[in-house]
Chain A
Amino acid sequence: MSNDERIAQLEVQIAELEARLPKHSVPAAMIIELEDLEDELETLTAQDSNDTG
């Protein structure tokens, strides 16, 4: 899978997870899952902009 495809996939996964988050109390496991996805997205996006920049 290319970086761009993985980035698109991560964005969908993050949006889906965020839509499922309870408003006032998010279980720690969901926070960790979301932050793991965001970390991966951040790393890939940075790689992508380095490659194109």
Chain B
Amino acid sequence: MTQAESDTFDRIAAPYDRGMAPLEKIWLREMRNRLLPRARGKVLEIGVGTGANLPFYHASVRLTAIDESSDMLGFAAQRAQALNRCVRFSQSNVESLNFPAGYFDCVVASLVLCSVFNQRHTLNELRRVLRTPGGQLLLLEHMRPHRAGLAKLSDLANIPWYAFNGRCHLNRETEQNLVQAGFLVEQVDSRLGGFLRLIVATAS
């Protein structure tokens, strides 16, 4: 992870929750509430950001949360403290994990895979650190919609969007890449024509 990569997220850490508030209210909070109580055992959350998922985990979960940005981790740590939750935070690159193979029972990513540099490599890393068989991957991600009109729109909008922020892509084929990385997709719940998807997958 370079300093510039980390700085990208440090810059948006303070206004992030305020900026995301309308989306949280309309879609994300309800989706997080459906997805995260499924996490069990040793859980790794990559790209924890400001910790928006933390209130939704079951109390018994043993949670390790990583992010590239120290500022994001600072906000997440404050949230964990307010919730009285034990979370082990680590500043590290989400695309190259320092954990042994098969270490986690569950890996969580929400609004992260749009912004990694190499999504296929990242998905391979997530599969590596998951227990096999049966390790669970829980995703809440935006991606290229399955409706043709919306898919075309996301392709067009991606050009200025990516030029503006330099990290987030609007049109990644995340669900297909997941299958190619060796995950078995068990459940998909879509919003906005498939632009937002909640995905439950297992490492096969």
Residues of A within 8 A of B (CB): 21, 23-29, 31-32, 34-35, 38
**A26-B86 Cα distance, complex, nearest whole Å:** 13
Contact assessment for A24 and B42 in the assembled complex, using a CB-CB cutoff below 8 Å: no
**A23-B193 Cα distance, complex, nearest whole Å:** 41
Q: How many pairs of residues, A versus B, come closer than 8 Å at their CB atoms?
A: 35
Q: If A25-B91, A26-B90, A28-B92 touch, does A35 touch B42 (CB 8 Å cutoff)?
A: yes
Interface residues of B: mostly helix, strand, loop or mixed?
mixed
**A25-B97 Cα distance, complex, nearest whole Å:** 14
- Chain A nearest Cβ from B45, distance in angstroms: 13
Residues of B within 8 A of A (CB): 42, 62, 64, 70, 73-74, 77, 88-92, 97-100, 103
Q: If A24-B70, A25-B70 touch, does A31 touch B88 (CB 8 Å cutoff)?
A: yes
- Chain A nearest Cβ from B97, distance in angstroms: 8
Contacts A24-B73, A38-B62 aside, 4 further interface pairs with beta carbons under 8 A come to A24-B70, A24-B89, A28-B90, A32-B99
Among B62, B73, B99, the residue within 8 A (CB) of A28 is B99
Contact assessment for B74 and A24 in the assembled complex, using a CB-CB cutoff below 8 Å: yes
Q: Which residue of B lies closest to A28 (CB)?
A: B98
